[in-house]
Chains A and B, each alone.
Chain A
Amino acid sequence: MAKMTLEELRKLRDQKKSDIQKRDIEGKDTQIIIGMGTCGIAAGAKGVLDTFLSELDARQLANVSVTQTGCMGLCYVEPTVEVISPNMPPVIYGKVDAAVAKKIVDEHVIGNKMVSDHVFDRPSADIIQDGGK
């Protein structure tokens, strides 16, 4: 790169900052945990992971980290995803695909509203308004 001016340096910093913030775990209050057991991967968890990463990127949500875990034990509804965010109970979603992943980002992470159709195991079914599935 050629020599920079002040403006160019600032522009470069802004651009690189969002990259390095994704690496930093400080200041992230919301966690999306994806079950990547053999069952999860077979059911398409990898695609779900990619969708979450690109959706968060597109919406520039710097406070969310996407982590992986092994099988959560709900192999009948894979792929499973747990979302832990402030002001919300920890929720485990099942049968998540790319479309549901987008919905989780929009409704749960941004809108603070559960995607009730896909709640399994936690929180218990009786507190979900429409009974859960």
Chain B
Amino acid sequence: MAFRNYILVCGGTACESTKANDIFEALIAESKAQGVGDEVQIVKTGCFGFCEQGPIVKILPEDSFYVQVTPADAQELIAEHVIKGREVKRLLYNKEGSRKHAKVEDIEFYQKQFRIVLRNCGFIDPENIDEYIARDGYGALEKVLFEMSDEDVINELKVSNLRGRGGAGFPTWMKWNFTRNAVADQKYIVVNADEGDPGAYMDRSTLEGDPHSVLEAMTIAGKTVGADQGYIYIRAEYPLAIHRLEVAMKQAREYGLLGKNILDSGFDFDIEIRLGAGAFVCGEETALLESIAGHRGMPIPRPPFPAVKGLWGKPTVINNVETWANIPVILLKGGAWFDQIGTADSRGTKVFALTGKIRNSGLVEVPMGTTLREIIYDIGGGIANGKKFKAVQTGGPSGGVITEEHLDTPIDFGSLTKLGSMMGSGGMIVMDEDDCIVDVAKFYLNFTVDESCGKCAPCRIGGRSLANLLEKITSGKGELADLDQMVEIGEAMKKASLCALGQTAPNPILSSLHFFRDEYLAHVVDHTCPAGSCKNLISYFIIPDKCIGCTACARKCPTSAISGERREVHLIDQEACIKCGICYETCKFGAIEIR
């Protein structure tokens, strides 16, 4: 059946939260009302990635990219685009105000991207297994069940040089091979979908947009290493991803692609979902396995590694969502194909969640070796509101900051580690000149202190001590010796903590101290905050020469700290001022300064 138009509505969490579901329903209702219900196919897909512009509706074959659509626009989209073939220009994406960027290929955001993991995201209906199958879905499983030996599978992964996408970058084939070679009566396959970095949502979008890719890869791993049971450990706060996984598992079972005797091959494999309560430490693999087993989510010392002694003491393959999503493609197209993409150190692509002070927030997938500058300026469109770039934080609370001078570094596992940061799971938070680096370090550290499980002393005590020192510095009571002490504590935590959470927690401080020592010095020596964000270190003043007495600031001030007659110079009462900054933003004459 051919349709005159295919309307793809983004069904990711971000777009759903801005009424994508209502848009979907409205489009269906309108197409019926206007008599073209049978002539268009309306599909709710996974995330398109360009979340800044959501909710997104894409209409094929014209490839028109409609952004910030509302349910009320459905009538016009059907009447104009579908029935009369006229693009609804006011809804098309544009960069600088002219609605001329109609086609997806013209949008800078997509030009440097290369999609392997997100291959089906934003194209297929994730709740319809047929659409996944039509895109060669379960083809890799076929090969593994009927054509390839277990060694072949391991070997193909070895040739591909796929490294784990959860952060540490351990070669996937080695993990699998350890488990395959381990002798045990029971083995397990586990998906780590406990995505917890602030600002990161790569795994959520993959599961929401293409759940079958992960299910297929798990079944492949089960066959290869000799496991018949898999678990997906996912946070309870990802309801849409959980729902799509449940639908996908049900459909796969009905088709005989999951369960007993898969495709009549004699191989049994089934999957269960385990919901996490949202503890960051449960993203650490040993803590995650403890949590699945019903114990308190705390890491245990390695070795032995989970590959040999994991869930309930049995050999367990545990990989991150993104790693899993790569597997079916590698087995279909061959390890050699994958090995051509990326850099010598890291093959393939990486999905990043680009957020912060960036113009185009969203989900991007680029080949390894793409530079940070390309991601931030070409794909991300640069800094929002014309501010100046300051730094980018990669790897979330475990990573570090990277400055302007290193923006041309090609991204891979090795290069980011060399810069004192890390790949992490793929969070990328961009900061501009208004962000105080000490305050940012404090934010991340407070996050890891909150999330520390408290089992080992270096993380529990070290983290708290660092947080206290940063609090002291941002409140204007810091001393020069505090900086050295922070380095000392940080280095000790790196060496002595039990798991990656504690080992990497000092990274934001250590790397920002390295690159922005001046800014720390301003805080402890001059007791000022150059970015004007640490409230205890700044005061707002009115510049008498510039104030015309318009009273705008006085009227907005929430504590009535500003006094002055009309057309006379105003004055801020420093005792009453809470440093909210509203006067600074309100003044049209630049008469308020931060000192």
Contact = CB atoms under 8 A, between A and B. Distances in A.
Interface of B: 1-6, 41, 60-63, 81-86, 123-124, 130-131, 133-139, 142, 145-146, 254-257, 259, 261, 263-265
Contact of B60 (A12, A16, A25, A53): A25
Contacts of A1: 254-255
A13 B139 contact: yes
Interface string A21-60: 0111100100000111110010000000100011011000
Contacts of A41: 83-84
Contacts of A2: 254, 256
Interface residues of A, number: 36
A2, A3, A35, A70, most chain B CB atoms within 10 A: A3
Interface stretch (A61-69, A85-93, A104-112, A117-125): A61-69
B61 A3 contact: no
28 contacts: A3-B254, A3-B255, A3-B256, A3-B261, A4-B255, A4-B256, A6-B142, A9-B133, A9-B257, A10-B142, A16-B134, A17-B135, A20-B131, A23-B3, A23-B6, A23-B60, A25-B61, A28-B61, A41-B83, A49-B4, A53-B2, A53-B3, A54-B2, A57-B2, A65-B61, A67-B62, A68-B81, A69-B85
B133 A12 contact: yes
Given A1-B255, A9-B255, A68-B62, A20 B85 contact: no
B2 A56 contact: yes
B263 A6 contact: yes
Contacts of B142: 6, 9-10
Contacts of A20: 124, 131, 134-135
Contact of A70 (B86, B134, B254, B257): B86
Nearest to B62: A67
Nearest to A14: B134
Q: Which are the 6 A-B pairs with shortest beta-carbon distances?
A: A68-B85, A3-B256, A16-B134, A36-B85, A20-B134, A65-B61
Contacts of B137: 13
A20 B62 CA distance: 16
Contacts of A10: 142
Contacts of B63: 25
B81 to A, nearest CB: 8
A67 B2 CA distance: 12
Contact of B4 (A3, A4, A28, A66): A66
A129 interface: no
A5 B263 contact: yes
B85 A35 contact: yes
Contact of A22 (B3, B85, B263): B3
A28 to B, nearest CB: 7
B353 to A, nearest CB: 26
A102 B64 CA distance: 27
Contact of A4 (B82, B145, B257): B257
A10 B146 CA distance: 13
